[in-house]
Structure 1
Amino acid sequence: MPQIFHRSLNTVSKVTIFGGLIFCALLAFGWDQFNRSSYVTEADVVREQPIPFSHEHHVSGLGIDCRYCHTSVETSSFAGMPATETCMSCHSQVWKDSPMLEPVRASLRTGKPLAWTRVHDVPDFVYFDHSIHVAKGVGCESCHGRVDQMPLMRRAHTLQMGWCLDCHAHPERSIRPLDEIYSFGIKHTSREQEDLSRELRIDSKPLLDCGTCHR
């Protein structure tokens, strides 16, 4: 029986098959990297706000405790945003005529809250309770990064599922003594964190259950 296809086509077919597999692998890798990029996750991207509020100035410079502005951080699933009256408790005396703070004064005059752009947000299908994380020793820095060094607020981590699961699998890496929740730049040894994890009775097994975050 005469040969229909030239022998060289065997090589072409092998190159095509392996080339296709390599292309698919590169495409999958590229897609994964794209989904982890700041373009998608918005990590390290400064979001536009009604006023350029500086956590670096207020936290490091003035020593204001996180709870002064985020009043429900210990009792609610949402940390809370400061009311205009909270801002004006200082700025009715300090920088009271600054053009930069006109949106704050306008908010007080009209009674319309400032429309802050939310920086840390998770999808609606994810259940997140801020208060339980604080109660179990997860400090502000663990999720929000060095807020005390941010002139403008940005997301320090991706907040993607893989990042959450990594913390839930090894919660001892992110916890600290309860009296250091609102402190920044404090380091503890692995042994200290493991001891604290036992003291706070943190069990990672339930944390990895789908129903913990997806209810």
Structure 2
Amino acid sequence: MADDGIDCRYCHTSVEVSQRAGLPPTHTCMTCHSQLWTGAGVLEPVRKSLLTGKPIHWQRVAQLPDYVQFDHSIHIDRGVACVECHGRIDRMPLTWRAKPFQMQFCLNCHRDPAPHLRPPELVTRMEPLGWSEERRRAYGERVMRAHRIDPKTLDNCEICHR
């Protein structure tokens, strides 16, 4: 099962400009689901929301504790792909938490961001780029230099805990 190639930003419209990715309003869901999986039971809350005008109460799967600050827009701008934290969403018929979202998970990336970076125009691409490990690292190191990203400063507690 796949997502028919829908870009993450179609549903998560504020991911490039806000701390939060945003959750889609019902009419966004129904743009596709008025034609795909129209009778699926799992979509009953979406159909009900459209009928009643009451917003969908989303069950969050990527919840961070209140004391953790995370800004989607800066990660997207620097080239951290959605798949790095959220896994292969395109292969999930129902979204689940694919990565641990524990402090060590974030610190591992902050201490060595280079292999996790890709060109910003490819951040919503789910499949691997097909780049060798050396090419990924070289690209990431160029981005880090260009943006003056110093891993020694990225594991400062105040980066995420404010």
Do the two structures share a fold, i.e. TM-score over 0.5? yes
Within-5 A mapping of 1:1-215: 56-58=1-3, 62-96=4-38, 98-100=39-41, 101-184=43-126, 185-188=128-131, 189=135, 190-215=137-162
Question: How far off its partner does 1:202 sit?
Answer: 1.8
Identity %: 52
Structure 1 residues not aligned, in runs of 5+: 1-55
> Residues 158 and 95 of structure 1: is their aligned pair in 2 closer, same or farther, counting only changes over 3 Å?
closer
In 2: Cα distance, 1:212 partner to 1:114 partner: 32
* CA radius of gyration, larger in: 1
Question: How far off its partner does 1:124 sit?
Answer: 0.4
The question of whether the paired residues in 1 share the 8 Å contact of 2:117 and 2:139 is answered with no
Query: Which amino acid in 1 is paired with 2:34?
Result: S
TM-score, length-scaled by structure 2: 0.87
The question of whether the paired residues in 2 share the 8 Å contact of 1:136 and 1:202 is answered with no
In 1: Cα distance, 2:96 partner to 2:51 partner: 29
Question: How far off its partner does 1:102 sit?
Answer: 2.7
The question of whether the paired residues in 2 share the 8 Å contact of 1:137 and 1:175 is answered with yes
Q: Secondary structure at the match of 1:163?
A: helix
In 2: Cα distance, 1:170 partner to 1:95 partner: 41
In 2: Cα distance, 1:139 partner to 1:153 partner: 17
Structure with greater proportional helix content: 1
In 1: Cα distance, 2:12 partner to 2:97 partner: 17
Q: Secondary structure at the match of 1:162?
A: helix
In 2: Cα distance, 1:102 partner to 1:178 partner: 35
